[in-house]
A and B are shown apart, each in its own frame.
Chain A
């Protein structure tokens, strides 16, 4: 796991680490990262309709030899929990989560406090938590 304060340059770091497949559901806290992701060729990026689907798509790509990344906001972590617990962990399938760490607005406070602990409880340490949060306006 790691916490970063900004998503600036994050895609380049992930590509340099060998990641070659991206899927997920957007978050305003990941705007710069996602602007870069949307420039990727279509064989490297598939937007999903919800976070569980994204983990499923990533798992399929991983089984075919890709090194995937799933991007999501922490509000979507609940949707990702079942496929992490019942697919990725028992089948030994790896995927890196890039999580927008929302935590200030009332609807984000609870998940903002427990997101990392939830992942720790699951035993999932392959994630990047992006602390920058976009709450303007």
Chain B
């Protein structure tokens, strides 16, 4: 069992500023925002519950830059099919971490279904302690999307023509 914020800092250190990050809804986005510096590029996915891995997969397929998804356990379970799409289609520069605190902490700490020890399409499951409410993400969706587009456009891989 790890401290949540320490686990996030380790992921940010491991993949550095070369990667583009996608942080899942709720406290995951808040905690990543609190841990990341201005040099990190992060999509704070405040809506679209469960879809952080799907968004990261789309980025990784269209851009030649490491993409790191930081997901939660209940969010993983909500869209478990994505693990198979990732298994079949994700390039080697796609990474998917799951912070497993065993509950829906952002909405009151209600227990969530227990994870298996591993899944296809998941790089690592990190068991973390509940760590409470970090401050809100201080960036608007429009500003956030602009920053992420700016970081990905230089690494864009254009689809081959028929």
Contact = CB atoms under 8 A, between A and B. Distances in A.
Interface string A38-59: 0111111011111011111111
A60 interface: yes
Interface residues of B, number: 42
A91 B52 CA distance: 14
Nearest to A88: B48
Interface in A58-110: 58-66, 68, 82-83, 85-87, 90-93
Counting contact residues on chain A (CB < 8 A from B), the size range is: 35 or more
B141 A90 contact: yes
Contacts of A60: 22, 54-62
Contacts of B162: 15, 39-41
Interface of A: 15, 20-21, 23, 39-44, 46-50, 52-66, 68, 82-83, 85-87, 90-93
9 contacts: A46-B58, A46-B89, A52-B50, A56-B48, A56-B82, A57-B54, A60-B22, A64-B63, A83-B51
